[in-house]
Structure 1
Amino acid sequence: MIRILLAEDDSAMRAYLQRALEKAGYDVVAVGSGGEALTMLQTEIYDLLLSDIVMPEMDGIELAQKCADLSPSTKVMFITGFAAVSLRANREAPHAKMLSKPFHLKDLVLEVERMFEDAAVASL
């Protein structure tokens, strides 16, 4: 089963996304901050880090950079309503998919499925 670490500071959005991903068959651990996500990444392996970009304490880009160091095989997908503001030229974001809010839950699930289908095809 694919394991997803969801980092989203909005509690309602976090619960909504977690339920949708679990209903689609994924094992989801949901946390409310980049710091909490970093702690989880230091102790467990995840197939995907699904992170909001704009969060207090540690933003999603910094979290993804730390994730790349700790767990290079973990894929990264950002969910955000502020992509243009957050992805500044002076900050290098790890290779990641981007899903801009608002989005339909089916689009999120499809993007997650595509990430792992692409990986399976690449490994053939």
Structure 2
Amino acid sequence: MIRILLAEDDDVMREYLTRALERSGYAVTSVDRGTAALPLLERETFDLLLTDIVMPEMDGIELAQRCADIAPDTRVMFITGFAAVTLKAGKAMPQARVLSKPFHLRDLVLEVDRMFEVGNASGHI
């Protein structure tokens, strides 16, 4: 099973994303800030870091860069509602995907499916 580490400071958004991904067959561990994600990246193996970019304490770009050092095989997808930050993320982590808010949960799941070339079994969201 594909394991996702979700870092999102908005409680409601974090819950929605976790539920949608779990319903689609992904194992999700979620945290409310980047600094909470680091110890998990050091202890566990994740296939994907799904992170908001704008968060308190440590932004998603710094988290992704630290993730690349700790777990270089972990893929990265950013979610953000800020267009200017999207450009910064693209420059900092060119191999990462960026999904701009607002997005439909189905779009998120389809992007994750594409990253791991999963069949379209998640069309039920």
Output the TM-score relative to the length of structure 1: 0.89
Query: Could you tell me how far 1:86 is from its partner in structure 2?
Result: 5.7
Q: Which moved more, 1:103-112 or 1:77-86?
A: 77-86
Q: Distance in 2 between matches of 1:108 and 1:20?
A: 9
Aligned alpha-carbon RMSD (Å)? 1.7
Output the TM-score relative to the length of structure 2: 0.88
- Which residue number corresponds to residue 96 of structure 1? 96
Q: Distance in 1 between matches of 2:86 and 2:96?
A: 14
Residue 78 in structure 1 maps to residue 78 in structure 2: yes
Query: Could you tell me how far 1:95 is from its partner in structure 2?
Result: 1.8
The count of residues paired between Structure 1 and Structure 2 equals 117
Q: Spell out structure 1 runs of 4+ moving beyond 3 A.
A: 85-89
- Which residue number corresponds to residue 58 of structure 1? 58
Unaligned runs of 5+ in 2: 119-125
Q: How does 1:39-58 map to 2 (within 5 A)?
A: 39-58=39-58
- Which residue number corresponds to residue 12 of structure 1? 12
Unaligned runs of 5+ in 1: 119-124
